[in-house]
Amino acid sequence: MTEESLAGRRFGAYEVLEELGSGGMGKVYRAKNVTLERIVALKTLAPQFAADKDFVHRFLKEARVVARLNHPNIVQVYDFGCVDGIHYLAMEYVDGQSLRTHMKGGRFSEKDAVIVIRQAVRALAVAHAAGIVHRDIKPDNLMFTSRAELKLVDLGIAKRVGEDQSLTLTGEAVGTPQYISPEQIRGLKDIDARADIYSLGATFYHLVTGHAPYKGTSGALVMSMHLTYPLPDPRQYEPVLSDGICRVLRKMMAKEREERYPNVDAVDRDLYRLQIGEAPEADEPGITGIATIIDTDRVGSPQRSRTPSPPARGLQTPPAPTGSRAWSVPFPEARPGAVATPPVAPTPAPVPTPAPAFREEDLHFVSMELARHIGPLARVLVKKAAKTAPNLVALGSALSENIPDEKGRAAFRNAIRARAK
């Protein structure tokens, strides 16, 4: 039996009803356990990976990790095994939509966003207590049931603290660019619960503003902004946001994890204070300044700067539209075009001529220079750009676009030009 034939077929104890989607490791189906007459989400490992022991180990590890967790805000694993050479997980079926889908209706009010994030915090508290870090918190991995209950899903890249790090792609940035923590971008081995706090903070930011914290023309640029660029003031999008919620966001998304909340319980205490109208206890992390607000249609096109709206005082939430759900209040889209990023000087596009074979020592030099600005992503970006760049200067010019500040871009280009002489 092949994976493509599962829909409409019998698969072990399951009758496969329909395909729901696919991901990096395999496909997900809606299925029915014939014996228990229970609808489940059946996640299968793609057949081409079945012969790879590392992939199988990781897949089964996911099953064992998630099966340990028992909480109403976490999707439950019922069963796992192998049928006809296809490894599978049978999980709780969530009859609902992702938080990402609900966010398409506009930003959430402070009140409703806090309710959502507190449910996610409760799920993470259970996972973290078991020594498990999710590593990919984002709106797509927070599902709502038809009863408006939040479920944390997709622990496919979860890990137990202290376990073999090779199972979680050591040295690579595992996560999603818009929500990934700086330490994951740097490829640190000792990723802990504070990485989830950062990613949840980025999700929280998106909920209350209608925008992800950073926006760029590539995932690499967005990740470099997580590393080096100050958190844009959320009130550039929604001037009515309270001082309290902005303090919580800055604390959750501090670039240095030592300056973040130490655990999700501390996050929850401040979220509760926001709910009852009290000021949070979060101290301000080290802030190097507020990002300039640039009106632009795309990153890299400098426009005239404008002054941020004055801070709002107190918990001010616009009235909910008639008929909105209790946990999610859709609002009109936030004002388009406001993107927090420094102006990027235009750089010449690489000339479409056959690329030379760069010397290894030159590529190593370029990688080391770029890594000073954006971290371990540099090696991958240099390798890719070297395939099309006609010379060393053009290579440096193209790669400089991944550096978020003009001063850094200029310094990098000058270093490459000096090397090329």
Strand pairing of 26-33 and 14-22? antiparallel
> Among 398, 387, 395, which residue's Cα sits nearest to residue 346?
398
* Cα 93 off chain centre by: 23
The greatest distance separating any two alpha carbons of the chain, rounded to the nearest whole angstrom, comes to 74
**Could you confirm whether 136 is annotated as catalytic?**
yes
- Measure the CA dihedral 93/96/98/99, to 10°: -130
- Could you give the CA distance from residue 270 to residue 265 in angstroms, rounded to a whole number? 9
Letter string b/e over residues 124-138, b meaning 16 or more CB atoms within 10 A of that residue's CB: bbbbbeeebbbbbbb
**DSSP one-letter string for 133-147:** E-S--SGGGEEEETT
Q: Are 281 and 270 in contact (CB under 8 A)?
A: yes
Q: Are 263 and 417 in contact (CB under 8 A)?
A: no
Q: Are 175 and 113 in contact (CB under 8 A)?
A: no
Question: What sections of 53-192 are H helices per DSSP?
Answer: 53-67, 99-103, 110-129, 182-185
Backbone angles phi, psi at 50, to 5 degrees: -60, -30
Q: Are 47 and 86 in contact (CB under 8 A)?
A: yes
Which residue is catalytic, options 112, 136, 233, 270? 136
Q: Are 256 and 364 in contact (CB under 8 A)?
A: no
Element (H, E) at 52: none
Q: Are 351 and 394 in contact (CB under 8 A)?
A: yes
> Among 324, 344, 367, which residue's Cα sits nearest to residue 229?
344
Which amino acid appears at position 211 of this protein? H
The encoded tokens of residue 239 equal 């001037």
> Among 205, 196, 197, 145, which residue's Cα sits nearest to residue 174?
196
Question: Which residues are marked as active site?
Answer: 136
